[in-house]
Every structure is written in structure tokens, then in C-alpha cells.
Structure 1
């Protein structure tokens, strides 16, 4: 388990945990800012020990996290949040359409009725919102389909995309579209992929698969091939 430095102020934090009775490898991302650390996605329940190990290898502690951004409410992204918040007083941010699932007002759309401990949401993020970081401005992109309010994060200064589950990199190809079996609105999800293809992207961090040196051309090809199926 080792973090990858994807440029000044940004680190991927891949680790493998037990989730639903099987091993799952996930890739939260840590971004440094003048206010402290920004963590994009947490991981499922049981993720905190792995996060702590990564942070300490970078010279940080969990208490250095000031903001958690959730790309969406699925348990493999948000399940460990309640545990994390026992170790830090970080604010929690997500899209307004995701907030009710995280706070417990609604049950998660996936997971057979079981849910992780609900937590409060402090900030609601919408398309075009920007968070200043040491890696440059981090822009919120609405990329719904995989979930109602799924967001991706884009660094226009470096052309890096944090795709969440809007794209995946853990299959037979270096970069692919969202997984249909876990995507309730596949048509809308593919529209989101087409929207991403309008940006200048040089590299992508997928929550499932980590960093891939693929960009706009590959994303456009995914959208074009999917629209022709």
C-alpha cells in the first residue's frame, strides 16, 4: 500500500479493505490546501486505519483533515465517514442531491437496505464551485447517472480529473465508462462522460483503479462508442 504523488499538493491513497465479504481496492485522494487537508471520498467502514497509515507516511495526522468531499453517497465511498469524524472535526461537503442519503433522510440507493452510520452535511457543492488548493483550484463538476448527484473534481491548471465512479480503471481497458450494474441511470451517466470529454484532461484518477495517463481523447472515445451501442 503506497500513495502516489500526482503533482504538488495532491496524493492518491489506494488501499484494500473487506467490503461486503470480499476484498475491495479503493482510491481516495488527498489534496493539500492553506487551510489543511481536503480528502475526496473516505472508503467503506473500516477504512480509517488505512487512511491514517497513508497520512502518517506523508507527515500528517487525521486531525489535519479540514474538509471531506464526497463524490456520492455509495457505501464504498462514504461508509467510513462516521468513524473518521470521531478523529477529526472536518466539515463534510457533497452535492445537494446526495446529502439526504448521507444524513439518513433517505436510504442509500444500493446496498440491499443496509446503511452505514449517517452523518451531517455542512456544505453543499454545485456545478462550477471551486475550492482553492495547493494543486490549483479544484472545480466541482456535476456528473450524475451513477448516482443522482454524483460529482467529479477537475484541476484546470494541470488537466487532472478526479472521476469518482463516473469512469473506472479496474477492468480490461486502461479507462472505461461507469459500470452498468452499479449505475441506475446509465444514459445520464454516459451524458456525463460526454460532458467530461469537452474538457482538457491529461490524466484521470478513478476511485476504482487509481491514476491512469489517459485524457480527453480516450474519454471522448468512451462516449462515442457507448452512444453507438
Structure 2
């Protein structure tokens, strides 16, 4: 667990694969109502997420909401279990919600889908959540997956990019070509993020990078070329 700024926490979940250890980085943000989780992690990883929440000084009872950034199983797979533990309000973009709640089958994945979970509030982008770190804005960033969203805290110049960007060894990189459904659209989303004043980025894959909007703009230009 790492506190990126007051009330904003980056979590780490790890799994062993044939290629070695893989790490994932859901997050949580403090609000007046309690913790707002950003993504729930893989199926079977709810206990690992709970341990990270405890490391931040909270418990399941402090979680009032979960915002799913997109439909992929490594983000929404444990949502049903988290919902059972917390009775949290579930947020997702309107283009993502059908995959989460079971109306449509997730586009990605090669096995049994994760348990469907109702989405209580469907987002359209540009909504703002009040947090202890200031307003947090929903930024619509499709391309990697339908209805993908990122979160931006302007007072902290902090971007929670989910899979719109990745990082490796602290260096900010573009979205994964292998796992993005539409790289042209993903590039447009990166350009949208480059318009924000940013001094740090949390990526679901790769963790935190002390990168700025100039770096994001350069990534966007490389995708366009």
C-alpha cells in the first residue's frame, strides 16, 4: 500500500503466472462517506484487496462505493465478492455497465466470466466526486475497452489512469497494444489526458510514475504516428 497524497491510496495485488509474478494496482480515495474503491481486482483476490485496505487503516465497513474503470476481469472480477462484503454502491460508465451487470458477455477473456453484479449508477464522463484530496473528475478514456474511464484530481495534479496508460520501472508508457481493442481510440484518449495538468500518474499495470502532461503528450504523439 502506498499513500500517493492525503487520502489517495495505491494498492498492490500480485499473482503468480507461468511468466512470473504479475502485479495489479487498484486504488481507493477517501470521501466524507467513506472509501471509494477504484476497481476490485481479479476473481479470488478480494481477501488480498481487504488486506491492502487494512494496511491503509480501514476495513470493509468503511467502503461505501466501488467505481469500475472498465469491464476487464482483472478490474471487475472480484466485484461481486466486494459487494457482498460491503453492500457498496457500484459505479461504471454506461458503455461498460452491460458487461459488468451481465447483459453482455465481457469482450476479453478466455474462460468463464466473472459473476455479474448490478451497476447502481451509470456514468457518462465529467462527473465529479468530492474527496478529501479535492474534487476527482471522471475522464472518459475509451480504446482499451468500452466505457473505460480514468480519474483526475486537479488540486493534486494526480491522474489515476487505470489501463489508459501503463508504466514500467517508474517510466510512463502508452496503453498495451496487445490488450487494447482500438488503438486509434486509445490514442485519442491519451491526447485527452495530455490536456490535463499532471505531475504523477498511477497505472493499474506498472504502478506509480512521476510523469507529467508533457510525457503524456509525447506518448499520444507516438501512437498517432
TM-score by length of 1: 0.94
In the alignment, what sits opposite 2:123? Answer: 125
**Structure with more strand by fraction:** 2
In the alignment, what sits opposite 1:210? Answer: 207
Q: How does 1:81-120 map to 2 (within 5 A)?
A: 81-112=79-110, 114-120=112-118
8 Å contact from structure 2 (residues 42, 78) kept in 1: yes
8 Å contact from structure 1 (residues 145, 188) kept in 2: yes
| Unpaired segments ≥5 residues, structure 1 | none
- Residues 151-175 of structure 1: CA deviation (Å, up to 9, x unaligned): 00000111100001000013x7711
In the alignment, what sits opposite 2:7? Answer: 9
In the alignment, what sits opposite 2:155? Answer: 157
Q: Secondary structure at the match of 1:77?
A: helix
Would you say how many aligned residue pairs link Structure 1 and Structure 2?
225
Q: Confirm whether residue 175 of structure 1 aligns to residue 193 of structure 2.
A: no
After superposition, the Cα gap between the structure-2 partners of 1:137 and 1:145, relative to the gap in structure 1 and judged at 3 Å, is: same
CA distance in 2, matches of 1:181, 1:211: 21
In the alignment, what sits opposite 1:200? Answer: 197
8 Å contact from structure 1 (residues 202, 213) kept in 2: yes
| Unpaired segments ≥5 residues, structure 2 | none
Please state how far the C-alpha of 1:108 moved relative to its aligned partner: 0.5
Structure 1 segments of 4 or more deviating over 6 A? 19-22
2:57 aligned to which of 49, 56, 59: 59
After superposition, the Cα gap between the structure-2 partners of 1:21 and 1:120, relative to the gap in structure 1 and judged at 3 Å, is: farther
CA distance in 1, matches of 2:66, 2:170: 30
RMSD value over aligned CA atoms? 1.6
Please state how far the C-alpha of 1:86 moved relative to its aligned partner: 1.7
Q: Secondary structure at the match of 2:189?
A: helix
TM-score by length of 2: 0.96
CA distance in 1, matches of 2:165, 2:52: 24
